[in-house]
Amino acid sequence: MFAVCSFGALISACTQSNSSSQNDSSTPDSIEAVPQKAVLKDSDVNSVYSNYIDLKNALVSAKSSEAQTASAKLSDALLKIKGCETTSELAGKISASSDLKSQRSDFTVLSADIIALMKNSEIESGTLYVQYCPMANSGNGGSWLASNSEIRNPYFGDEMMNCGEVKEEFKKK
């Protein structure tokens, strides 16, 4: 029951504020086939997106220490957005853990909130892909964001790299 309540609180926590200018997206997205990230108009949201992709890629590669580093940066980026304090704490929880299984489990709730934030953000260029694996989290499923349509599963990595499908795309309106 607590997980459901926490999930609901996170979904609403980080969708309240987005408006600013552009940021660069020069960090390579090495795990995904196309190293082109979308660019969001709000520089703070763009930073969240970039750090989130770095975290996702670390989980795809099963690199717990890289996931810790990326989630710490994500936590800091989230603090710059009003209403994202709870989401920042969750990213901080991932950065405090060196257990890959735990990191991947917490990534589920984090992803739901980041997806909600991106859905309500203005995209300057590129496309964001919401991907979903029904087998993640003991068969309860899990979604994540990607910068291209090729599936690279952060919940299973090499065990089931291509398990999943694109469920939604966010583009410039």
Which 8-state DSSP code applies to residue 171?
E
- What residues make up the domain containing 129? 2-15+41-171
Distance CA(123)–CA(144), nearest Å, equals: 17
In a domain, 141, yes or no: yes
Please report where in the chains the tokens 């980026």 appear, as a residue.
Answer: 77
Instruction: Give the phi and the psi of residue 165 in degrees, each rounded to 5.
Output: -155, 160
**pLDDT tens digits, one per residue of 157-167:** 889 999 999 99
| Residue 55 contacts residue 70 (beta carbons within 8 Å) | yes
Query: What percent of the chain is helix, strand and coil (3-state, nearest 5)?
Result: 50, 15, 40
Model confidence, pTM: 0.80
Q: What is the pLDDT of residue 23?
A: 36
**pLDDT tens digits, one per residue of 83-110:** 999 999 999 999 999 999 999 999 999 9
**How many domains is the chain built from?**
1
In a domain, 109, yes or no: yes
